[in-house]
Structure 1
Amino acid sequence: MAKRLTLYIMIGLVLGIVVGAIMHASMTPEAIVEANKFFKMITDIFLRLIKMIVAPLVFATLVAGIVHMGDTKSLGRVGAKTIGWFLGATVVSLTLGMVLVNWLQPGVNAGLDLASATGSSGIETKHVDMYTTLTEMVPKSIVEAMANTTMLQIVIFSVFFGVALTAIGDKAAPIVRGIDSLVEVMLVVTNYVMRVSPVAVFAAMTKAIAANGLGVLVTFGKFIGSFYLGLGILWLLLIFAGFLVIGPRIVSLIRYIRDPILLAFSTASSEAAYPRTLEALDRFGVPPRIASFVLPLGYSFNLDGSMMYMTFASIFIAQLAGIDLTFGQQVTMLLTLMLTSKGMAAVPRASLVVIAGTMAQFGLPEAGLVLILAVDQFLDMGRTGTNVVGNAVATAVVAKWEGALDKPEPPDQEPPRAPSGHMHEPQPDSFHDYAELPPPRTG
């Protein structure tokens, strides 16, 4: 199924580009706007289905992972390693974006006129400081957090819930069995939803190309090319860092996660790739107790592609406007973006929202943001695919540090289902083993 799905997504991607280009060349702008309403509806329905499953899936897998981790000491150790890796990756991503945009200078003599970019960007400017960021990490209602798919708030509640289940021991057994069953159910629902992903990919690509045309890629060629060069370098850095920990096996990880990378790239949605990334890491040999803890945290703290884009795009706009930011200002911008970006994963076009909130602080014109909106869909695809790579590498590295990285299954093989009534040892070998685990032990 995994191999066929990858093929179908590729077919949808290519067909979307072809149909979109034909529409852009042969239809009037008014007709394209009307036709894109249909394609937007298909894409929106798919993304709503993804949002429908992500919140309960994250909650169930994270709680199950914590319970079966055994004790809070193990949880603290894994958490410290995870956050340490995330902070290092964030600094590298932001710094790489700043270095490349200063070296390549895609905004200098780019031939793009800020004066022609009139009007508002339409991106909500959300001013956030350290106090607001820390406050909004804590959910005031888990129902509200799940309704808004606010990943960090769901993670925090799940951690409290999982630790509490571990603390009360045998009394929690009925709830633990229910959570384990919920994991099984959500994985089956995920498989149902993923069957329509090729259609959603086709609709998303058709809409983007029909509205903007392939010509927009030429106009913004230097900017797009520079950014994708940066993403390529970031991939190499992430893989090299993973190689230092895991060894040559890190290269095969990309083969295991090719399906979620392609899905994330095509739909420009990290959430769409989450369930498949979870399953791919399971087949790669990462235990569910590690993957279900590290991966949700990564969606709030480790969006490597988005981090690089924030410094890259902000300084690019400054170059377009002829504003010479000093090294000190750029470092301040980097630190500001590193802080304000955390917990923003559930916000639509989160990178642009964070950039919009930072621009005023450094006197950058909103017209620059209006200008890059024309190609943001193509940039979002790259940075979203990179987010998947960064989180997958981080999860595999933490598993290796814990001495828990198992032998891989064939990359195109579906995860085996546990036979009914079969009892397993306390540490599950795959997500499909969760339903048969015994309750947690007291103490």
Structure 2
Amino acid sequence: MNNYYNKYKSSIGLQMISAVIIGTIFGSLLPQFSSIYQFLGKAFISLVSMVILPLVFPVIVLSVAEILNKESLGKLILKSILYFFIITTIITGIFVTGSYLLKFGQGIDIGQQKTSLNGLTNNTNLNDFLLGIIPANIFKSLSQGSLLPVVVFAIFLGFGIGSLENRKNSIFINALHVWVDAIYKIVELIIKWVAPFGVFGFIASDVATTGFEKLISLGEFVIGTYVAYSILALFFYPLLAYIFELNYFQLIKSIWNLLLLAFISGSSSVVLPELLKRLKNNGSDENITDLVVPLGYTFNLQGAAVYFSIATIYIVNVYNINLSTSQIIYTIFILSLIGKTAATVPSGAIVVLLASATMLGLPKEGVALIFAVDFFVNAGRTALNVLGQGMTVLIIEKLNKKYLF
């Protein structure tokens, strides 16, 4: 299975690179077909948008329900998730605020038009915002594609299902697993068979209308993203290790080959079994390791938190969108929440970014362009996700011993 997944990831990466190259050639030599190129790109975005709600809703329901079902470890699970949300929200807040203040992406001319955040007013009213996320009519929220109220309802539904006796909820939970697996398969097919044409369409259309400037800006995005990754690995993680009295460099030394494998393969799943074994061999508590690492693969993707923050603000700045303080806070909240809903989906980055862009009112074309270079930024993102899991096990273990929670 891992060999197949590695082959799949590698194939998709090569297809994305090929799509960028071929799209550049076609857009340059045959600009008269720009409308066709644009159609291909928009069709791809529509197909991905189609699966966002059907995916996010059951994933959240299952996550909450299955956590509540594990009564013996319930307290530790809830404490771990609380830590996951705190740390990923802090990371998101740092990189959203930092990249916006540093104007990452601003001044790049890609032929875009001045736009605004359609999903927010300049001065978001707290009462209206809180009332807006409560789904007075869940069917209306579903039909309108209002993601945040659907997420809130999914949390409550997951709590209700998880509180029932196992014999009562097992059938429904099994059905949701089948549904999620089916949606995963749909996403995989869309990415595998449609994404190369969609990326080709967007690149060809942009080159045909605005030249090569947009491609150059994508290179700047990749470089800027790796600068952000470096800040997380060289400054934030060592600071966290210092606070919790951990040997950060000893951790890296003990799992460096797993980090390298994750970087090369672009998949954190391939190192999961060996990561569990390595951490336990190094003295980590077996129960905490077996709980925190698998749970963290969904709720604790710290490298992904950096990527989603940088990518979102890059789109904001490229399109010359001005954010108020309340909008920045709202953006941090949305990315912290949505970034945990599609972590296990093949090429799930575009699903998360599109979901966030929809809620924030950002241009979806910007997301599609960033996806064209996702192959390059995914390597660093994946390695940091794995390193973050190792750090979290040591921190949770330290907190468990110190505070006995």
- TM tier, shorter chain? 0.5 to 0.7
In structure 1, C-alpha distance between the alignment counterparts of 2:126 and 2:16, rounded to whole Å: 40
1:173 lines up with 2:134 in the alignment:
no
1:13 to 5, 16, 23: 16
In structure 1, C-alpha distance between the alignment counterparts of 2:353 and 2:127, rounded to whole Å: 19
Give 5+ residue unaligned stretches, structure 2.
Answer: 277-288, 339-351, 399-405
In structure 1, C-alpha distance between the alignment counterparts of 2:31 and 2:146, rounded to whole Å: 39
- Which residue is 1:79 aligned to? 81
In structure 1, C-alpha distance between the alignment counterparts of 2:264 and 2:388, rounded to whole Å: 16
Deviation at 1:106, TM superposition (A): 6.2
Q: What is the total number of aligned residue pairs between the two structures?
A: 349
In structure 2, C-alpha distance between the alignment counterparts of 1:353 and 1:188, rounded to whole Å: 25
Cα distance change of structure 1 residues 78 and 137 upon mapping to structure 2, 3 Å threshold = farther
1:126 lines up with 2:132 in the alignment:
no
1:135 to 125, 131, 136: 131
SS in 2 for 1:6: helix
In structure 2, C-alpha distance between the alignment counterparts of 1:152 and 1:43, rounded to whole Å: 20
Cα distance change of structure 1 residues 183 and 196 upon mapping to structure 2, 3 Å threshold = same
Q: With structure 1 as the length reference, what TM-score do the two structures score?
A: 0.59
2:298 to 295, 298, 305: 295
Letter in 2 for 1:8: S
In structure 2, C-alpha distance between the alignment counterparts of 1:232 and 1:207, rounded to whole Å: 26
- Which residue is 1:67 aligned to? 69
Deviation at 1:211, TM superposition (A): 0.3
- Residues 62, 293 of structure 1: 8 Å contact kept: no
Identity of aligned residues (%): 9
Deviation at 1:235, TM superposition (A): 1.4
In structure 1, C-alpha distance between the alignment counterparts of 2:319 and 2:131, rounded to whole Å: 31
Deviation at 1:77, TM superposition (A): 1.2
In structure 1, C-alpha distance between the alignment counterparts of 2:61 and 2:369, rounded to whole Å: 31
In structure 1, C-alpha distance between the alignment counterparts of 2:178 and 2:359, rounded to whole Å: 35
1:93 to 72, 95, 101: 95
SS in 2 for 1:138: coil
- Residues 40, 198 of structure 2: 8 Å contact kept: no
- Which residue is 1:338 aligned to? 329
Give 5+ residue unaligned stretches, structure 1.
Answer: 262-275, 322-329, 357-368, 405-443
- Which residue is 1:252 aligned to? 258
- Residues 19, 196 of structure 2: 8 Å contact kept: yes
Provide the alpha-carbon RMSD of the alignment.
Answer: 4.9
Cα distance change of structure 1 residues 192 and 204 upon mapping to structure 2, 3 Å threshold = closer
Query: Aligned runs of 1:21-40 on 2, under 5 Å?
Result: 21-29=24-32, 31-38=33-40, 40=42
SS in 2 for 1:213: helix
Deviation at 1:60, TM superposition (A): 2.3
**How big is each residue's C-alpha offset from its partner over 1:386-426, in whole Å with a ceiling of 9 and x where there is no partner?**
7965777666654554459xxxxxxxxxxxxxxxxxxxxxx
2:180 to 183, 186, 210: 186
In structure 1, C-alpha distance between the alignment counterparts of 2:40 and 2:315, rounded to whole Å: 31
Which deviates further from its counterpart, 177-186 or 199-208?
177-186
Cα distance change of structure 1 residues 214 and 342 upon mapping to structure 2, 3 Å threshold = farther
1:208 to 202, 209, 231: 202
- Residues 65, 162 of structure 2: 8 Å contact kept: no
Deviation at 1:89, TM superposition (A): 0.3
- Residues 137, 153 of structure 1: 8 Å contact kept: yes
Deviation at 1:194, TM superposition (A): 1.6
- Residues 41, 200 of structure 2: 8 Å contact kept: yes
- Which residue is 1:360 aligned to? none
Higher share in helix: 2
Deviation at 1:199, TM superposition (A): 1.8
